[in-house]
Amino acid sequence: MSEINFDTIEMAKIDTKAPAFEMSYYDAEKDTDWNISSEDLKGKWYVLFYYPADFTFVCPTELKDLADVKSQLDEMKVEVLPVSTDTVFTHKGWVKAEGLLKDFKYKMLADHNGEYADLYNVLDLNTHLAGRGTFIVDPDGILRGLDITSGAQGRNSAELIRKIQGLQFMRENPTMACPARWTPGATTLTPGIDLVGKVAEAM
Cα distance between residue 201 and residue 191, in whole Å:
13
Cα distance between residue 158 and residue 175, in whole Å:
26
Q: Which of 12, 18, 28, 59 is catalytic?
A: 59
59 labelled catalytic: yes
Of the candidates 113, 107, 98, 1, which has an alpha carbon nearest to the alpha carbon of residue 48? 107
Q: Which residues are catalytic?
A: 59
